[in-house]
């Protein structure tokens, strides 16, 4: 099947909107529109939406004229949205998406960095492989960047690395400005739309979608200039942080109760183990290294230190309570110490019973008592000291 035939199939089954955000692209935009119309499937189901932010160089008017003429010629529809007050690449793209009637949406730059020839392949992939987002990628096999200075290449790679690792994104080029997606996957997303990285926001917020990358060659613009400046770089950091926070809350929410419970129990026992070490080291320090304190005193100091460090670690880490209100904290500390005491007494009592009345082997009795006492300790502290539901 030739490309042309495939495109015909696409027109019949689905409609397509291509969104081109522009700011001062007067030297590029006519060429882009011509090229798009040449390479896109011809038919009424395809619309090109240019979103212009009142460009001082008159890009908006040029497109306005172009749209009128193309209507006369009755080819694909070209529409122009003039934004008078709003600004910004991501928000322009969102405006375009809002107006888009297609089931599939393509987003591309208006400066020839993104070759329109790639679009049919993207749409084909969107249908063929049943994925939800197709990203035209510079960083998969076969993709590349042409004409960028070394500095910009490094910055782009670095920013990409940060996004991939920081946000747990698997694809190679999450910063791409060239992508296609099924419109309905973003219906429930609340966008921040800060700066340039709208795709990143979609990747983080559209849960469970399938993404595919196909290679293309990014060609640096020949006309006009990039609008990526320091303030957009700052926006990038802002949006990364917001997306990171967002992902964290979602991950927490999605964790099953059993996982959350076990993870807290795990932390509680880790803290307990760290207490042994603190206990030993502090006692050793006071009893042997620093002074010739009576060894019983040294041991007591060790115990106080380890109980305190256990309390603080459990408060901050295990139960994630960062409220250090003095009265509240002291009350918690008291309860924590109290439960430890109760646990110790219970443990002794239990071992005594098991060994004396059940004639259990001491080592087994010890084990049983330690397990029961420490589980009890965890639950009591969870419920009363840190005021959580037991099963949460």
Tell me which residues touch ligand GDD (CB under 6 A): 21-23, 25, 51-53, 87-89, 92, 109-111, 113, 156, 175, 177, 196, 221, 226-228
DSSP three-state, residue 116: coil
- Please, which residue, 23 or 311, has the CB nearer to ligand GDD? 23
Q: Within 13 A of 11's CA, how many CA atoms are on the CB side?
A: 15
111 sits near Mn ion (criterion: CB under 5 A): yes
Residues ≥6 apart with Cβ < 8 Å to 238: 194, 195
Shortest spacing between CB 178 and ligand GDD, in angstroms: 6
Across the chain, which distance is largest between two alpha carbons, in Å?
101
21 binds, among ligand GDD, Mn ion, none (CB under 5 to 8 A by kind): ligand GDD
Shortest spacing between CB 229 and ligand GDD, in angstroms: 9
Shortest spacing between CB 225 and Mn ion, in angstroms: 9
25 sits near Mn ion (criterion: CB under 5 A): no
- Please, which residue, 130 or 229, has the CB nearer to ligand GDD? 229
- Please, which residue, 91 or 381, has the CB nearer to ligand GDD? 91
User: Helices 59-73 & 29-39, crossing angle to 10 degrees?
Assistant: 30
121 binds, among Mn ion, ligand GDD, none (CB under 5 to 8 A by kind): none
Return the structure tokens found at 199: 């795709």
Return the structure tokens found at 278: 């603190």
Closest CA to 172 of 143, 201, 148, 198: 143
Closest CA to 97 of 206, 235, 2, 220: 206
- Please, which residue, 209 or 232, has the CB nearer to Mn ion? 232
- Please, which residue, 109 or 125, has the CB nearer to Mn ion? 109
> Which residues 185-244 are close enough to bind Mn ion by CB under 5 A?
221
**Which secondary structure element, helix H or strand E, spans residue 372, and what is its range?**
helix 362-380
Shortest spacing between CB 176 and Mn ion, in angstroms: 12
235 binds, among Mn ion, ligand GDD, none (CB under 5 to 8 A by kind): none
- The number of helices, as runs of H, and strands, as runs of E, in the chain is 12, 9
306 sits near Mn ion (criterion: CB under 5 A): no
Which single residue is written with the structure tokens 């060609």? 219
Note whether 107 and 17 are within 8 A (CB): no
Quick one: CA dihedral 199, 200, 205, 209, positive or negative? Answer: positive
- Please, which residue, 92 or 126, has the CB nearer to ligand GDD? 92
60 binds, among ligand GDD, Mn ion, none (CB under 5 to 8 A by kind): none
Question: Which residues share a beta bridge with 213?
Answer: 135
Alpha carbon distance, N-terminus to C-terminus of the chain: 57
- Please, which residue, 118 or 381, has the CB nearer to ligand GDD? 118
156 binds, among Mn ion, ligand GDD, none (CB under 5 to 8 A by kind): ligand GDD
Q: What mask, x for binding Mn ion by CB under 5 A, covers residues 60 to 89? A: ------------------------------
Question: Which residues share a beta bridge with 146?
Answer: 219
* Angle (nearest 5°) at CA 279 between 278 and 285: 85
- Please, which residue, 218 or 286, has the CB nearer to ligand GDD? 218
Task: Find how far residue 189's CA is from the centre of its chain.
Answer: 14
192 binds, among Mn ion, ligand GDD, none (CB under 5 to 8 A by kind): none
113 sits near Mn ion (criterion: CB under 5 A): yes
Shortest spacing between CB 208 and ligand GDD, in angstroms: 24
Q: Which positions touch Mn ion (CB under 5 A)?
A: 111, 113, 221
């Amino acid at each position: 099947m030739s490309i042309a035939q495939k495109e015909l199939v696409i027109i019949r089954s689905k409609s397509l909107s291509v969104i081109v955000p522009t700011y001062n692209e007067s030297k590029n935009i006519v060429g882009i529109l011509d090229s798009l119309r040449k390479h896109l499937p011809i038919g009424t189901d395809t619309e090109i939406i240019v979103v212009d932010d009142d460009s001082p160089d008159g890009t908006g008017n040029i497109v306005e004229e172009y749209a009128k003429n193309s209507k006369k010629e009755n080819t694909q529809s070209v529409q122009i949205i003039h934004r008078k007050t709003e600004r910004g690449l991501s928000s322009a793209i969102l405006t375009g998406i809002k107006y888009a009637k297609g089931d599939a949406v393509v987003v591309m730059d208006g400066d020839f960095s993104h070759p329109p020839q790639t679009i049919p392949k993207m749409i084909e992939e969107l249908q063929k492989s049943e994925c939800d987002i197709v990203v035209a990628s510079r960083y998969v096999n076969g993709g590349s960047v042409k004409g960028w200075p070394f500095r910009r290449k490094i910055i782009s790679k670095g920013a990409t690395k940060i996004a991939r690792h920081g946000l747990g994104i698997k694809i190679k080029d999450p910063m791409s400005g060239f992508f296609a997606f099924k419109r309905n996957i973003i219906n429930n997303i609340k966008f921040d739309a800060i700066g340039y990285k709208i795709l990143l926001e979609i990747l983080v917020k559209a849960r469970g979608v399938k993404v595919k990358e196909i290679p293309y060659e990014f060609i640096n613009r020949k006309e006009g200039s990039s609008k990526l400046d320091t303030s957009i770089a700052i926006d990038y950091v802002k949006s990364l942080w917001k997306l990171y926070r967002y992902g964290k809350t979602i991950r927490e929410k999605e964790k099953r109760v059993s996982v959350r419970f076990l993870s807290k129990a795990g932390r509680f026992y880790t803290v307990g183990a760290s207490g042994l070490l603190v206990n030993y080291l502090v006692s050793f320090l006071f009893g042997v290294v620093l002074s010739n304190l009576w060894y019983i005193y040294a041991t007591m100091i060790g115990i106080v230190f380890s109980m305190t460090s256990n309390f603080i670690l459990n408060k901050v880490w295990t139960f994630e309570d960062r409220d250090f209100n003095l009265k509240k904290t002291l009350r918690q500390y008291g309860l924590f110490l109290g439960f430890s005491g109760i646990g110790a007494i219970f443990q002794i009592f239990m071992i005594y019973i098991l060994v004396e009345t059940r004639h259990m082997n001491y080592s087994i009795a010890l084990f049983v008592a330690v397990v029961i006492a420490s589980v009890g300790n965890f639950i009591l502290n969870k419920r009363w000291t840190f005021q959580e539901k037991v099963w949460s």
